[in-house]
Amino acid sequence: MAPTKLKIACAGLGRMGKRHALHFLNRTPRAELVAASSPDEAELAWARTHLEPYGVVLYRDYDEMLKQEGLQAVVIASVTTVHAEQAIKGIEANLHVLCEKPLSTSVEISQTVVDAAKKKPHLKVMCGFSRRFDSSYRDAHEKMDAGLIGRPSIFRSQTCDKLDPSGFFVAYAEFSGGIFVDCSIHDIDLALWFFGQDSQVKSVASSGITAVQPELRKHRDRDNAVGIVEFYGGQIAYLFASRMMAAGQDDATEIIGTEGKLQVNAQPMSNLVNIYDAAGIRREIPPHYYGRFEQAFVNEANEFTACCLDDLKLPMKLTGAVQAVKIGCALQEAMNTGAKIWFDETGRRIERAVM
Amino acid sequence: MAPTKLKIACAGLGRMGKRHALHFLNRTPRAELVAASSPDEAELAWARTHLEPYGVVLYRDYDEMLKQEGLQAVVIASVTTVHAEQAIKGIEANLHVLCEKPLSTSVEISQTVVDAAKKKPHLKVMCGFSRRFDSSYRDAHEKMDAGLIGRPSIFRSQTCDKLDPSGFFVAYAEFSGGIFVDCSIHDIDLALWFFGQDSQVKSVASSGITAVQPELRKHRDRDNAVGIVEFYGGQIAYLFASRMMAAGQDDATEIIGTEGKLQVNAQPMSNLVNIYDAAGIRREIPPHYYGRFEQAFVNEANEFTACCLDDLKLPMKLTGAVQAVKIGCALQEAMNTGAKIWFDETGRRIERAVM
Amino acid sequence: MAPTKLKIACAGLGRMGKRHALHFLNRTPRAELVAASSPDEAELAWARTHLEPYGVVLYRDYDEMLKQEGLQAVVIASVTTVHAEQAIKGIEANLHVLCEKPLSTSVEISQTVVDAAKKKPHLKVMCGFSRRFDSSYRDAHEKMDAGLIGRPSIFRSQTCDKLDPSGFFVAYAEFSGGIFVDCSIHDIDLALWFFGQDSQVKSVASSGITAVQPELRKHRDRDNAVGIVEFYGGQIAYLFASRMMAAGQDDATEIIGTEGKLQVNAQPMSNLVNIYDAAGIRREIPPHYYGRFEQAFVNEANEFTACCLDDLKLPMKLTGAVQAVKIGCALQEAMNTGAKIWFDETGRRIERAVM
Amino acid sequence: MAPTKLKIACAGLGRMGKRHALHFLNRTPRAELVAASSPDEAELAWARTHLEPYGVVLYRDYDEMLKQEGLQAVVIASVTTVHAEQAIKGIEANLHVLCEKPLSTSVEISQTVVDAAKKKPHLKVMCGFSRRFDSSYRDAHEKMDAGLIGRPSIFRSQTCDKLDPSGFFVAYAEFSGGIFVDCSIHDIDLALWFFGQDSQVKSVASSGITAVQPELRKHRDRDNAVGIVEFYGGQIAYLFASRMMAAGQDDATEIIGTEGKLQVNAQPMSNLVNIYDAAGIRREIPPHYYGRFEQAFVNEANEFTACCLDDLKLPMKLTGAVQAVKIGCALQEAMNTGAKIWFDETGRRIERAVM
């Protein structure tokens, strides 16, 4: 008899939802995509062609989908504003939950998901920080753990998107939580991973500009921003996020230790081709994050599935997802107010640390 | 109703056979691995754990497997010596055939597969030159087709394996056809792809040494060899093959045109990590060809499947596989005899071309 | 008759002084090193072997040297604490002055050099920020000027020295002004060069740690520090300085514009050699800044000489050197107090800018 | 008293002659350029501006120049056809000689220089293979000597010039000796350096094409050529030369040993700048060989000077320059006749080696 497969549903069939659905349908051998939901007619039309023929039941309503017989897990790829609500409903329906990042743009709402998950310790509830599943980041982390760089001390990371001149990001900024919560959250999560999941933030400072899209300011956002995050353990993360890259997705990370440095994607590339022509030597780079992280998303689907089926420990704590939102929100606020923001060692906001 | 899947069997479950079997089982959504065969008990034992539970019927005998009800295709990953025979049997059993390279180490035997395939034009018969399915090679080929480098004129390519100090390659050399037939065949196939599938070889010259494994000479083989292949169209391919690399798999290709150059994998890498330590800046490279070409093999499985199901044209001609063996054998002979070998424009061996 | 040469003296013959002296002696065809001074006996002993035989007159006393007949210029490479005083004396003695960076670790004292120079407009007085003479930085600046990256908006730069385990930097920190004044001053000067020499700083924020040398704290210094500098023009520079590199000198700069990005030395290297061995592919990097910037110092000597002889405009304003010290000192203070520091548009310290 | 300087003259003031003259004038502290000669009026006009004001005496006639009082050495940068004759005259005039490569395009004539030099063992006579003075090649050679790559076994090297559409190379081919003698001679010299100066060539085979300049055939030359050189020690060098590069000078070398590989300039670059724009990430490369090897020529001038003044051993044997011409001529002949050319272990041409 063939081993059982994890019966999973996909909530939301937008850009990322389509990908999650197809990953679980075609690229996750131990999972079976059995359902998908979207309130959006265009998304459902897509699903009728690409999912339904393979036995995936489609729903307009998320709550209806949760009732499907035999369902064991749900991947949530809806708009950010409903992540937390749908995650909690999934948990309450006794389903394993893989939720796209962030849980919410609000620390408090993010925490409600953690609280709900705590009540069902047998369930696997994970916020999908895809970079944790990228083979290069993992290799770097393993090398750090093996002591190659001594004690990690300084962390530099950037999430830089290709310029989208359509104005999409201006509209998107209304609900995204802003550039630090939407983009830098990945870098913050990585910092927590490399410095230790329970690292306590001490202060944040940040600055941002609108170099190409001044209208972002009406949503208290920027198109380029840098930030410094100090931790109580004596480490510093410094971050850059941009929505203005000409060449394509330019995400890079450095972990600087007392005895060495690890670098991830400091020389981005689409593939292994170099082009020599009259302008010199050139390589192309991925236009979007999916070009960089496609395989990480597939790994995520497969590992989440294995954790559910084999009752394994998830590769990361759900509480980390709240900590990441907290730091992202503080950076966003520091950028907007100009203030430096301080926390005590228990994580509470304070007026100013004694230096 | 779900779309039909291609019912495929896998012949041979050695190193590459296992991979093909798993690719068709797990990573080829439109195919269904229904059978596998091996005369080897250890290989079958592996299959009982990794294939049988998923509904794959196992056979000790290839001929028996071909009789399985509903079978539509077979992937042949047995030892090279039976490639041609099994391919022909598959064709005669009315199956699509994906055969690992080379068809044979003999030009004449390779040709018998082409002859058999010609009688069944409705079947898809392909010799699996994996690099044709690698995204970097494809991108380079597309860029060449788009005119980025003018007329392709010089082709440099190398297949360089990591040193295997176990002595494996000495034993293997008895049947491999030698370093030009076993390794450089990939580079030769690429040269034919980039210069035009029907390019006619004019001359070959080559030299080889045994730097680390002098016992290879008893099988008329070498551990390092270089060769020059001249074509009638006025192009030159020059090749290097080695089984002596310290760092890992080091396969690189350059296509030099009248207006530019394309390079594939001139800076090999395992992933996107750089390591800074007291010795400088370092990156690791894949230890073996599968580390470099895994995704190409998966692409190959998926595209072969699509060609069979949708009756599409295969991405390459079967006759090219004979041409590649012919050039590889000539290079091997030239290395062993010291002679330069000439061909006329119809492909026949001649004493010497008039310069 | 041979063209005249600039008669120049060198003050200070420590590590950098020796280099300046030899550059002017051997690698500056239009200059003639005629004198050198040092209060240090060991330095003078060195000079007796390496300078005196070529006609260079040696002095124990700087003031005495200034009286040498025919002297036209002086390069000051003494300890930082006397830079300003010696520069002013040189100016008052009617000499062109090339002074090592920084003019002083104090903004006020730095300004006195500017004031002295203003009174002698016929003299060339330059603070030697060597990176401005580096061919890569210059190429990047020209490409920016030519519009390749649109409007420069974000500037990232780092000055990262190899770890010196001798404890030298702890002693040195007493007078160096600290990591932002000693190291980041180069990055700050570059930011002013790329953003416009008269850019007005709006705010600075910074953080530092002592990862390897906690004793630095007694001099209010750190071994790793990051800072953010905001300018009124709507640009941001963010900086990293470290004295903890394992691999060697790791200075890199990025200028991110609205239409592209320029990178200088993002992949440091000692030379054009790659080493493939069992650990992968590796290259070495320069152990010290002179390994990276030797040619820039030689260019500096030659161009300063040409400016003096031909009465050309210096490639940079002396006031910029004061502005760089001002920003460096503010970053150092911000690191030590934890405060974010604000300036108004005229450059005066203020309590807090209105956001 | 200032140490004495080597009084040197420069013969020939063409492209390379001008550079040698200026190197000895301005960038070789221990040498004094005292004379220069050229039969060409335009070249002399240049010298009247750039050399004469600095005390360099100019001559129309080489023989006249040799008579100049006090002359100690001569650098020969005339047209190749007079290299040998001028070198021999210099030797006979008791001068140290630095002669541009090649000594001659004829093996026999090259040998006459060696014969002349043997009679004056107190003189330093060197053929200037500039790459031997390049810091990257030297570093690679030192690393090989230190055992980093085990026994060097395969040598790959290329000299690839930027396409010059002016037709210059067609005219030039009449006297250059052809692409293997003019370009590959550098790679051959390097092979001899890395494999051992006294390595004995066993066979050469080669092929060439005219991809862009078919008129080269009238001078029995090609614009692209590849060759294989086998040595009796059991090593192989394989070479590529081209005059068709779109991007610029593309000279690269690999030395492959039993335990590793060294690579020189596999990723050519003009400087340390990367340009990110809509086309990807790009760097420029030097347009000409002087952009790549300028510092090597300067080193050559300085070391030749030191060898003369201090009676040091030259860094390479003059006989190697004959051996390099011999191999280059054999490759050129093999390309033109199509034959593979064999030598016995004493260096004599033979019909065919017994395999």
Whole-number Å distance between alpha carbons of D59 and D48: 11
| Tokens standing for residue B186 | 């990939």
Which of the residues in chain A have pLDDT under 70? 1-2, 353-355
**B36-56 average pLDDT score:** 97
User: What secondary structure does DSSP assign to A46-58, as a single string?
Assistant: HHHHHTGGGTPEE
Q: Which residues of B touch A267 (CB under 8 A)?
A: 272
- Cβ of B29 within 8 Å of Cβ of A26? The answer is yes
User: What secondary structure does DSSP assign to B60-93, as a single string?
Assistant: S-HHHHHTSTT--EEEE-S-HHHHHHHHHHHHHT
> Does the CB of A228 have a partner CB in chain C at under 8 Å?
yes
pLDDT-derived band at B169 (thresholds 50, 70, 90) equals confident
- Nearest beta carbon to residue A258 from set C230, C244, C352: C244
- Cβ of D274 within 8 Å of Cβ of C259? The answer is no
Interface of B with D in 231-270 (CB under 8 A): 234-236, 238, 240, 242, 244-247, 250, 256, 258-261, 266-267
Whole-number Å distance between alpha carbons of C55 and C200: 47
| Conformation bin of residue B198: beta by default, left when phi > 0, alpha when psi is -120 to 50 | alpha
**Sequence-distant (≥ 6) Cβ neighbours of residue B143 within 8 angstroms:** A273, A275, B149, B262
The sheet with strand B125-128 has its strands ordered as B57-59, B31-37, B6-11, B73-76, B96-100, B125-128
Q: Would strands D260-264 and A280-283 be described as parallel, antiparallel, or unpaired?
A: unpaired
Q: Is the pLDDT of residue B299 over 60?
A: yes
**D101-120 average pLDDT score:** 97
> Does the CB of A282 have a partner CB in chain C at under 8 Å?
no
Residue contacts between B and C (CB atoms, under 8 Å): 54
- Nearest beta carbon to residue D207 from set B210, B212, B230: B230
Helix, strand or coil for residue B226?
A: strand
Q: In the block, which residue shows the tokens 């335990």?
A: D259
* Whether the Cβ atoms of residue A74 and residue A10 lie closer than 8 Å to each other: yes
User: What are the domain boundaries of chain C?
Assistant: 6-128, 135-292+323-350
DSSP character for B330?
Answer: H
Handedness of CA C51, C52, C57, C59 (dihedral sign): positive
**Nearest CA among A141, A240, D201, B243 for reference residue C261:** A240
> Does the CB of D34 have a partner CB in chain C at under 8 Å?
no
Provide the greatest CA pair distance for chain B.
65
Q: Which residues of B touch A139 (CB under 8 A)?
A: 270-271, 273
Find the residue in A nearest to C338 (Cα). Answer: A355
Find the residue in C nearest to D268 (Cα). Answer: C272
CA angle at D330 for the pair D326 and D334, rounded to the nearest 5°: 175
pLDDT the model gives residue C169: 84
% chain C with pLDDT above 90: 94
CA gyration radius, chain C: 21
Q: Which subunits have 3 or more CB–CB pairs within 8 Å of chain B? A: A, C, D
| Tokens standing for residue D346 | 């004493």
- How many helices (H) and strands (E) would you count in chain A? 11, 16
**D123-151 average pLDDT score:** 98
- Cβ of C212 within 8 Å of Cβ of A258? The answer is yes
**Sequence-distant (≥ 6) Cβ neighbours of residue C110 within 8 angstroms:** C84, C102, C103, C104, C321, C322, C325
**B139-162 average pLDDT score:** 98
CATH of domain C135-292+323-350: 3.30.360.10
Q: Can you give chain C as a three-state secondary structure string?
A: CCCCCEEEEEECCCHHHHHHHHHHHHCCCCEEEEEEECCCHHHHHHHHHHCHHHCCEEECCHHHHHCCCCCCEEEECCCHHHHHHHHHHHHHCCCEEEEECCCCCCHHHHHHHHHHHHCCCCCCEEEECHHHHCHHHHHHHHHHHCCCCCCEEEEEEEEEEECCCCCHHHHHHHHHCCHHHHCHHHHHHHHHHHHCCCCCEEEEEEEEECCCCHHHHHHCCCCEEEEEEEECCCCEEEEEEEEEECCCCCCEEEEEECCEEEEECCCCCCCCEEEEECCEEEECCCCCHHHHHHHHHHHHHHHHHHHHHHCCCCCCCCHHHHHHHHHHHHHHHHHHHCCCEEECCCCCEECCCCC
Q: A112-126: per-residue pLDDT in tens?
A: 999 999 999 999 999
Q: Is the pLDDT of residue C1 over 60?
A: no
- Cβ of B281 within 8 Å of Cβ of C276? The answer is no
**Nearest CA among D294, D177, D286, D174 for reference residue D225:** D177
pLDDT-derived band at C2 (thresholds 50, 70, 90) equals low
Handedness of CA D190, D325, D157, C267 (dihedral sign): positive
Q: How far is C111 from chain B (nearest CA, A)?
A: 40
Average pLDDT score, chain D: 96
Q: Which residues of A touch B260 (CB under 8 A)?
A: 275-278
> Does the CB of C272 have a partner CB in chain D at under 8 Å?
yes
Q: B189-233: per-residue pLDDT in tens?
A: 999 999 999 999 999 999 999 999 999 999 999 999 999 999 999
pTM of the predicted structure, to 2 decimals: 0.96
| Tokens standing for residue A24 | 């679980």
Dihedral, CA of residue C199, residue C201, residue C204 and residue C208, to nearest 10:
40
| Tokens standing for residue D95 | 């001068």
- Nearest beta carbon to residue D224 from set B153, B260, B266: B153
Whole-number Å distance between alpha carbons of A263 and C250: 13
> Does the CB of C2 have a partner CB in chain A at under 8 Å?
no
pLDDT the model gives residue C353: 62
- CA atoms in the 13 A half-sphere facing the CB of A183: 32
Q: What separation in angstroms does the CA of C354 have from each of A322, A336, B255?
A: 31, 11, 59
pLDDT the model gives residue A355: 62
Q: How far is B201 from chain D (nearest CA, A)?
A: 13
CATH class of the domain comprising C6-128: alpha beta
Q: Which residues of B touch C270 (CB under 8 A)?
A: 280
> Does the CB of B278 have a partner CB in chain C at under 8 Å?
yes
Identify whether A102 is preceded by a cis peptide bond (ω within 30 of 0): yes
- Cβ of B278 within 8 Å of Cβ of C246? The answer is yes
- B114 φ/ψ angles, rounded to the nearest 5 degrees: -60, -45
- A97 φ/ψ angles, rounded to the nearest 5 degrees: -130, 125
Q: Is the pLDDT of residue B1 over 60?
A: no
CA gyration radius, chain D: 21
Interface of B with A in 171-200 (CB under 8 A): none
Q: Is the pLDDT of residue C220 over 70?
A: yes
- B161 φ/ψ angles, rounded to the nearest 5 degrees: -90, 155
Q: C18-36: per-residue pLDDT in tens?
A: 999 999 999 999 999 999 9
Q: C101-157: per-residue pLDDT in tens?
A: 999 999 999 999 999 999 999 999 999 999 999 999 999 999 999 999 999 999 999
Find the residue in D nearest to C135 (Cα). Answer: D271
**Sequence-distant (≥ 6) Cβ neighbours of residue B49 within 8 angstroms:** none
Angle between helices D168-176 and D80-92 (to 10 degrees): 50
Average pLDDT score, chain C: 96
Whole-number Å distance between alpha carbons of B296 and B254: 19
Q: Is the pLDDT of residue D354 over 70?
A: no
- Nearest beta carbon to residue C140 from set D27, D268, D273: D273
**D243-269 average pLDDT score:** 98
Q: Which subunits have 3 or more CB–CB pairs within 8 Å of chain A? A: B, C, D
Q: C287-313: per-residue pLDDT in tens?
A: 999 999 999 999 999 999 999 999 999
- Cβ of A153 within 8 Å of Cβ of C206? The answer is no
CA angle at A206 for the pair C341 and A16, rounded to the nearest 5°: 175
> Does the CB of D272 have a partner CB in chain A at under 8 Å?
no
Find the residue in D nearest to A286 (Cα). Answer: D280
Helix, strand or coil for residue D168?
A: helix
Dihedral, CA of residue B191, residue B193, residue B194 and residue B199, to nearest 10:
70
* Whether the Cβ atoms of residue A88 and residue A94 lie closer than 8 Å to each other: no
Q: Is the pLDDT of residue D91 over 90?
A: yes
Q: What separation in angstroms does the CA of B104 have from each of B170, B315, B316, B323?
A: 19, 20, 17, 12
Residue contacts between A and D (CB atoms, under 8 Å): 54
- Cβ of A240 within 8 Å of Cβ of C156? The answer is yes
Q: How far is A254 from chain D (nearest CA, A)?
A: 19
| Tokens standing for residue C60 | 């124990």
- Determine the topology of domain D134-294+323-350 in CATH: Dihydrodipicolinate Reductase; domain 2 (3.30.360)
CATH of domain B134-292+323-350: 3.30.360.10
Whole-number Å distance between alpha carbons of C231 and C203: 7
| Tokens standing for residue B4 | 């039909």
| Tokens standing for residue B27 | 């990573």
- D38 φ/ψ angles, rounded to the nearest 5 degrees: -160, 140
**Nearest CA among D94, D102, D99 for reference residue D123:** D94
Whole-number Å distance between alpha carbons of B289 and B296: 11
Neighbours of B216 (CB within 10 A): 21
Q: How far is D56 from chain C (nearest CA, A)?
A: 10
Q: Which residues of C touch D275 (CB under 8 A)?
A: 143, 148, 260-263
Q: How far is B327 from chain A (nearest CA, A)?
A: 26
Q: Which residues of D touch C275 (CB under 8 A)?
A: 143, 148, 260-263
- Nearest beta carbon to residue C282 from set B250, B267, B282: B282
Q: How far is A319 from chain D (nearest CA, A)?
A: 38
Q: Which of B161-175, D132-146, D171-185 has the highest mean pLDDT?
A: D132-146
Q: Which residues of D touch B266 (CB under 8 A)?
A: 266-267
Suggest the residue from B282, B283, B285 to mutate for an interface test with chain C (most C CBs closer than 10 A): B282
> Does the CB of B69 have a partner CB in chain C at under 8 Å?
no
* Whether the Cβ atoms of residue C10 and residue C65 lie closer than 8 Å to each other: no
- Nearest beta carbon to residue A235 from set C209, C244, C355: C209
- Cβ of C281 within 8 Å of Cβ of B276? The answer is no
- CA atoms in the 13 A half-sphere facing the CB of C218: 8
Whole-number Å distance between alpha carbons of D238 and B226: 7
- Cβ of C283 within 8 Å of Cβ of B281? The answer is yes
| Conformation bin of residue D71: beta by default, left when phi > 0, alpha when psi is -120 to 50 | beta
